[in-house]
Amino acid sequence: MRNAAGILFACIVTMGVVHVSSSRAQWVRGGTPVCDLTGRETDPCIVNDGDGGAIIVWRDRRHENIDIYAQRVTADGRLAWTTNGIPVSMAIGRKSEVKVVSDGAGGAIVVWTDRRVEWDIFAQRVRSDGEIAWALDGVPVCMAGDEQESHSITTDGSGGAIVSWVDLRFGWDEYCMYAQRIDSAGSPLWDGDGVQIHKSTKGLGHPQMVPDGEDGVIITWSEMWGNEAAQYAQRINGFGDRMWEGSGALLSGPQAHRSAAWIVQDGAGGAIFTWWDERGDYRGIFAQRMDGEGRVQWRKNDAVVCVGPGNQMYPRLIRDDRGGAILVWHDGRNSSWDIYAQRLDGRGRIEWNRGGVPVCTADGHQRHPRIVPDGTGGAYILWSDERNGTGNSDIYGQRIDADGKSLWRENGEPLITEPGDQFFPEAVSDGEHGVILTWTDGRPGAGGIYALRLDPKNMSGMHGN
């Protein structure tokens, strides 16, 4: 049961009385503390607030229960809402898989899996002033029988969101992919517990979505059996109707040890996808493009981004301004994991060095890169870095131009090198050719969720005061 203070605070938030004039008026060297209350805050996700700042959402155990909190950081580094964040959901039960998208009005829509009954899907909207817009502890997106898990969320372009997930309402021998659209008031626009997209006796997982530009989405997911998996995609219009023939178009596969696919819009009504799989002695990076009609656009066996020597894994990508994409991954061709990048043109052909360009080949492991467009045809790349010793993960970054040339010092800038671990950065564009990043921080005595803004116009001050 919640304590009285928790109930009172939640009621105050629901009424919208949450704006705080923080004394923290600039970004802090080593990171601005978003929440350092207990050091038990994890898994931050981030979305642009449309005004040069960002909204950060995380899982929080300050009350022993696993709750969800959020904070808005302004363009100048102020914390706009209540110190240490506002509660998005404090319902009894574990919460996981927290994700966030913009609501198009300076706020955010948050979605998560929730164990207050079974594993169900819930959502909440937080307005730009920190007011909770929907029912206390969130509105149900799906509470069908058994479990719903592995969800994805994207904007619907009209102030609401579309959510997809893996659904086990028919039992553990029938896997389904479902989706639901919710409007700006949190009301479902499709069938009560979602529309069915795909049904299979094989395992399904890892849905990812992007808007199709017409109030609908393009969604991709993996269909798995044994150690092999195929990748499928489907387009859903704004009314929840499937637009491509059948329950899904085969994107790629099956292949051994296939990872989840990441997806971006291609700027022409379709999408570009990337993943890793094993087609020989090594795991490599592959990509494919589909048009708005569900037709594969690149080679039938996929565009090869990088294959061997060593394993290449965990790719991410952004759309470039020429119908292609810039991809980044962590790479095992050397004695430790490094960071490499590649650019594909609109026809799936590599544009940089075969095997990619090295972003960081420093000592120790560099892993789990994230990539954000810089607004000038290049990209910011951020990663977890162990060059200063295992058990001392730091955050480094690099900026590359449209030709793959590194613009900062060789092997990247040391962005966060505080004592303890700083890891798994997530980042968004600030809308001014810069980037705002957030991460889980384990610095002694002050761990929690932190943020930093990188401003290319003032590189000398990019680490704050």
β-strands 262-265, 413-416 pairing: unpaired
Residue type, 303: A
Q: Which residues pair with 221 in a beta bridge?
A: 232
Nearest to 129 by CA among 35, 51, 220, 199: 51
Q: Which residues pair with 408 in a beta bridge?
A: none
- Per-residue pLDDT reduced to its tens digit, 239-264: 999 999 888 999 998 999 999 899 99
Task: Tell me what pLDDT residue 146 has.
Answer: 86
What residues does each domain of the chain span? 264-411
Rounded to an integer, what distance in angstroms lies between the CA atom of residue 216 and that of residue 239?
8
Q: CB under 8 Å to 409, separation ≥6 — which residues?
A: none
- Per-residue pLDDT reduced to its tens digit, 389-441: 877 899 999 999 999 999 999 999 999 999 999 989 999 999 999 999 999 99
Nearest to 112 by CA among 127, 91, 83: 91
Task: Tell me what pLDDT residue 461 has.
Answer: 40
Task: Tell me what pLDDT residue 301 has.
Answer: 85
Indicate the burial class of 127 (C-beta count within 10 angstroms; 0-12, 13-18, 19 or more).
middle
Task: Tell me what pLDDT residue 192 has.
Answer: 85
β-strands 95-102, 120-126 pairing: unpaired
Task: Tell me what pLDDT residue 1 has.
Answer: 36
What one-character DSSP code corresponds to residue 322? Answer: S
Is 30 in contact with 438 (CB distance < 8 Å)? no
Rounded to an integer, what distance in angstroms lies between the CA atom of residue 458 and that of residue 103?
30
Residue type, 246: G
What is the four-CA torsion angle of 307, 312, 318, 320, rounded to 10 degrees? -30
Q: Does domain 264-411 have CATH number 3.40.50.2300?
A: no
Task: Tell me what pLDDT residue 17 has.
Answer: 34
First-to-last C-alpha distance (Å) of the chain: 42
What token pair was written down for 307?
């294959």
Q: What is the pTM of this model?
A: 0.92
Rounded to an integer, what distance in angstroms lies between the CA atom of residue 163 and that of residue 122?
10
What is the four-CA torsion angle of 98, 324, 265, 247, rounded to 10 degrees? -100
Per-residue pLDDT of the chain (465 residues; tens, 9 = 90+): 333 333 333 333 333 333 444 444 589 989 999 999 877 899 999 999 999 999 999 999 998 889 999 999 999 999 999 999 999 999 998 899 999 999 999 999 999 999 888 889 999 999 999 999 999 999 999 999 889 999 999 999 999 999 999 999 998 889 999 999 999 999 999 998 999 999 999 999 999 999 999 999 999 999 998 889 999 999 999 999 999 988 899 999 899 999 989 999 999 999 999 999 999 889 999 999 999 999 999 988 899 999 989 999 999 999 998 889 999 999 999 989 999 999 999 999 999 999 999 999 999 999 999 999 999 999 999 999 999 987 789 999 999 999 999 999 999 999 999 999 998 999 999 999 999 999 999 999 999 999 999 988 765 444 444
Task: Tell me what pLDDT residue 25 has.
Answer: 53
Is 216 in contact with 238 (CB distance < 8 Å)? yes
Task: Tell me what pLDDT residue 459 has.
Answer: 53
